[in-house]
Structure 1
Amino acid sequence: MADFRDFAFKLVVVDKLMYRDKTLTPAFGIEAHMRERGVEDLDDHMEENGLDFTILDEARAYFEALEIPDELLATVDELVFDGGLKVYRECAPVWDGEDDLFDVRSLDDLDLLPNLGVVTGARSLEHMCPGAKDVLAARGITGRH
């Protein structure tokens, strides 16, 4: 099992495998997860506890502990860096995309994806990680804007 160094990078990989490819199962849903913990109205819970623009602790704990088999990581041939990823809505349901909450800080985890060939949102990635364009090019990964 892979050890990710950058939580935000892991979330991008999870989005690809869990919500786009549907190969990492079961899919995590924050509303159902919170209902199991007695929270009936997630919006009210978030507002009452000042959690509007944060990653919910329950989601962070789930995704941090989530193990992704190497065989699944080897299927990742493309990643999308975009503020509208489903995994972000599952972590921070009312996040507006106007801050750096999900910014990738390191590309060290590229080593975990031996078959990655395309990155969509390379301009966004370059903004988060200056020099990303060169790192991708050195690895033979095509960056699309």
Structure 2
Amino acid sequence: MAAFRDFSFKLVVVEKLMYGDKTLTPAFSLEQHMRERGVEDLHRYVEENDLAFTILDEARAYFEALEIPEELLATVDELTFDGGHRVYMECAPVWDGEDDLFDVRSLDDLDLLPNLELVIGAQDLEYMCPGATDILAARGITGRH
């Protein structure tokens, strides 16, 4: 199994495979996960525990432990970097997208995606990870803003 170095990069891949392509199953639902642990109102839980702008430990643990088979990683030919991903809401249900909580810090994990051809949101990626445009170009990956 592939080991990701950058948690936020892994989440972008999870978004593509789990919530976009629906090939990485089952789809994780933080609300359902927390309900199974006795939390009936997720938003109230987040507010009462001052967790509004953080990744909930339960979601982080799930996604960090999630193994993505290399066969599925090989199907990723396109990634989108966008603050509106569902995976972000599954990690931080009241996150407003106004901070760097999910910023990618490294592109080392590109090695895990042998068939990646297109990155949408390359300008956002460049902002998060300076030099990203050059790294993508050097790998023959098209970046679209």
Global fold match (TM > 0.5): yes
Unaligned runs of 5+ in 1: none
Deviations 1:82-115 (A, max 9, x none): 0000100100010000000000000000000000
- Identical aligned residues as a percent: 82
What's the offset of the Cα at 1:56?
0.5
| TM-score when normalising by structure 1 | 1.00
Look up the match of 2:42.
42
Look up the match of 2:106.
106
After TM superposition, the runs of 4+ consecutive aligned structure 1 residues lying more than 2 A away are none
Look up the match of 2:62.
62
The letter for the 2-side match of 1:101 is: L
The letter for the 2-side match of 1:15 is: E
Q: Secondary structure of the equivalent of 1:116?
A: coil
**1:79 is aligned to 2:82:** no
The letter for the 2-side match of 1:40 is: E
| TM-score when normalising by structure 2 | 1.00
Unaligned runs of 5+ in 2: none
The letter for the 1-side match of 2:113 is: L
Q: Secondary structure of the equivalent of 2:102?
A: coil
Look up the match of 1:90.
90
What's the offset of the Cα at 1:21?
0.1
Deviations 1:72-91 (A, max 9, x none): 00000000000000100100
What's the offset of the Cα at 1:10?
0.1
What's the offset of the Cα at 1:141?
0.2
Q: Secondary structure of the equivalent of 1:119?
A: strand
What's the offset of the Cα at 1:44?
0.7
**1:30 is aligned to 2:30:** yes
Look up the match of 1:20.
20
**CA-atom RMSD, angstroms?**
0.3
Q: Secondary structure of the equivalent of 1:143?
A: strand
Q: Secondary structure of the equivalent of 1:79?
A: strand
Q: In 2, Cα distance between the equivalents of 1:104 and 1:21?
A: 21
**1:142 is aligned to 2:145:** no
Look up the match of 2:8.
8
Q: In 2, Cα distance between the equivalents of 1:76 and 1:56?
A: 27
Q: In 1, Cα distance between the equivalents of 2:92 and 2:44?
A: 14
Matched residues, number: 145
